[in-house]
Structure 1
């Protein structure tokens, strides 16, 4: 009986710390994003429909087509690539969500090095 109570307690406490992932709210909308790479903070704004994302970074506009793998994962393909890096597709996975933001990780498709960032839904 004692072992049962200990196991039950452990299960109850671990369920309380499950991270939320309600990704459907972030498939479309207007957002701004923050990513820190080598101690440098990069910010961008973007507008996303179900199949297209238009991003503004350093006063430059970049458009990507979207292919959703599931509600929390998407592949970005640059529409008009200007460099070899732009030819590579990007895989983004939403890790956690709140009511107005999500934490994500992304990488070039097929690469193991991942970066993390936060996107905030604009009102």
Structure 2
């Protein structure tokens, strides 16, 4: 019984010491590179973001999104010129953790958790 209690206490102690670094302010604006997957193929895109706009370059396309920061680490993006109704749905983006030059991003269509995905974004400038 003592071994079980000791094991539980040790596990709780070790997990309480785990700290994920999140320094979102360094990633609010700048030029970023991201990878994404379409039909099983990994591709690379680029994004230039200000406080209120994001211009994304991918697959020889350019999309512009308005940006509204909800918290220090979470923003909502909405296409400036959607082509149809599904294209106009806002995207919720949340920075989960950061390193010196990149962050782990979790994103989904707003209010649709079934579309949730994760990706890594690297800051270029």
Does the alignment reach a TM-score above 0.5?
A: yes
Deviations 1:47-72 (Å, cap 9, x if unpaired)? Answer: 00000000101111100000000011
Gaps of 5+ in 2: none
**Does structure 1 residue 63 correspond to structure 2 residue 59?**
no
Report how many residues are paired.
120
Moved over 4 A (4+): 6-10
Distance of 1:42 and 1:26 partners within structure 2: 22
Cα deviation, residue 105, structure 1:
1.0
Distance of 1:64 and 1:9 partners within structure 2: 44
Deviations 1:2-61 (Å, cap 9, x if unpaired)? Answer: x8xx858843x3344221111111100000011346643132101000000001011111
Structure 2 CA distance for partners of 1:9 and 1:108, relative to 1, 3 Å: closer
Alignment of 1:38-77 (within 5 A): 39-77=40-78
Distance of 2:98 and 2:51 partners within structure 1: 18
Residue equivalent to 1:18 = 19
Q: TM-score, normalised by structure 1?
A: 0.85
**Does structure 1 residue 99 correspond to structure 2 residue 117?**
no
Q: TM-score, normalised by structure 2?
A: 0.84
RMSD across aligned positions (CA): 2.1
Work out which of the residue numbers 114, 117, 122 in structure 2 matches 1:115.
117
Gaps of 5+ in 1: none
